[in-house]
Amino acid sequence: MKPRKTLYFIGIGLAICVFLFMSYSNQDKPKNEIRILIDRIPNTLDLSQAPDTLAQKLFPLLKEDHYALVKPFLYEDFRFMPPDPTLPILHFIYIRDELSRSLLFQGGHTDVLFDSLSIAKTAWFKKRGTNMIEAPGFRLSFIGFNLKDPILQDQRVRRAIQLSLPVSEWAHDKLFDWVTLLPEVPLEPDLVQANRLLDEAGHPKDASGLRFLLHYQTTPVREGYENALLIREALKGIGIRLEVKPIETSLFFNRLLHGEFQVFATTINRNTPDDPVSDFLRPSGQKNYFHYNRLPDRVFAWDEVKMQVFQDLPIIPLFNWKHSAVLSDRITALPGAETKLDDSFRFLTLLRIK
């Protein structure tokens, strides 16, 4: 099938999905109900079972705020009943496609989009003056290295890569200030020093200006791939060619686990500054894909070890991602809602219908 026809049918399919949802959402529903669109389906809402990431975000509403899951329910469409019947019901609806979520929100058929839009769309809503809540987050974005790799095991190479990255420019011009910069991170590139370190490490440029090739693994997720292209462009300035390889998400993490990579990027998810990062950085950590062994084999938070990490650079920390909740005109946020805007949905308890 030709690409143009394929895009045509995809567009028709999305339009049908949106039409069906609009028809469904206009049926008689409780008026005292806040509708939240989610981009993933929880694998369980049973407190006795090990939850996935989305379930972990939802569990505090059940455990700490004493909402009740209305049964029977479908994972793609479920409601939480508040302990106080005068408070709004929380109605979660799964819509995978980001464009469909955006269209439904703009059409007034839903009330909340929480950390489920691309940076570009979030910035667009903000520019239009849409009601929003923002808060600092602690999800740490980083570039990771395989320290067993013959090239990357040299700390001078890793430092040179760090010094080639225009982190401040990315934050302001590419990421629309939806990240918080880290005070320890070099914000502007120093290509002179980076090139000097690579020369010292024994990687001179050839006649074409190339020093060596690195393979960078990422998933097909749009923003991850776009970040890979930014890193690729930056490394050109110091003579490193980066070959970007998008692979399916489960295979991506499987390869990391087995050390079948050179460079990748991902995030460490934290709700607070005190949440542990030891699973990534201690010798026995299940996510210590880097083979880094210069930290104690115990539980620790980022602030306890960050100076050692910045010295050794098993990873290059970049910035922390902010949280954002886009709200419809029929919703008002009570004072303090932003203080609960973390990696859970607890801020929803401070939303009211006008």
Write out the two tokens for 222: 């749009």
* CA gap 251, 274 in Å, rounded: 31
8 A C-beta contact, residue 125 and residue 108: no
pLDDT of 223 reads 79
Going by pLDDT thresholds of 50, 70 and 90, the confidence category of residue 15 is very low
pLDDT of 224 reads 85
pLDDT of 247 reads 92
- 7-21, 56-70, 119-133, 338-352: lowest mean pLDDT where? 7-21
pLDDT of 13 reads 52
pLDDT one-digit tens code per residue, 229-257:
999 999 999 999 999 999 998 899 999 99
**DSSP state at residue 84:** S
pLDDT of 25 reads 46
- 14-28, 63-77, 109-123: lowest mean pLDDT where? 14-28
Q: Is the pLDDT of residue 14 over 70?
A: no
Q: What is the rounded average pLDDT of the residues 163-179?
A: 93
pLDDT of 221 reads 80
ω into 3 cis (within 30 of 0): no
pLDDT one-digit tens code per residue, 209-220:
999 999 999 988
Q: At what angle do helices 98-106 and 3-25 cross, to 10 degrees?
A: 40
pLDDT of 12 reads 47
pLDDT one-digit tens code per residue, 147-157:
999 999 999 99
Q: What is the rounded average pLDDT of the residues 125-139?
A: 93
pLDDT of 53 reads 81
pLDDT of 30 reads 53
Q: Which residue has the higher pLDDT, 66 or 23?
A: 66
Write out the two tokens for 240: 């490193």
* CA gap 32, 79 in Å, rounded: 12
DSSP secondary structure letters along 260-285:
--SEEEEEE--SSTTSB-HHHHSTT-
pLDDT of 141 reads 95
Q: What is the pTM of this model?
A: 0.79
Residue 108: which residues within 8 A CB-CB, separation 6 or more? 328, 329, 330
* CA gap 93, 246 in Å, rounded: 29
The one-letter amino acid code at 70 reads V
pLDDT of 257 reads 93
Which secondary-structure segment (H or E) carries 200? Answer: helix 191-200
- C-alpha distances in Å from residue 353, one per residue of 110, 150, 184, 318, 325: 12, 59, 42, 38, 15
Q: Which domains does the chain have, with CATH numbers?
A: 29-131+328-353 (3.40.190.10), 138-321 (3.10.105.10)
Query: Which percentage of the chain shows pLDDT scores above 70?
Result: 92
pLDDT one-digit tens code per residue, 59-93:
999 999 999 999 888 889 999 999 999 999 999 99
pLDDT of 192 reads 97
Residue among 323, 335, 351, 334 nearest 114 (CA): 323
Q: Which residue has the higher pLDDT, 101 or 120?
A: 101
Q: Average pLDDT, whole number, for the chain?
A: 90
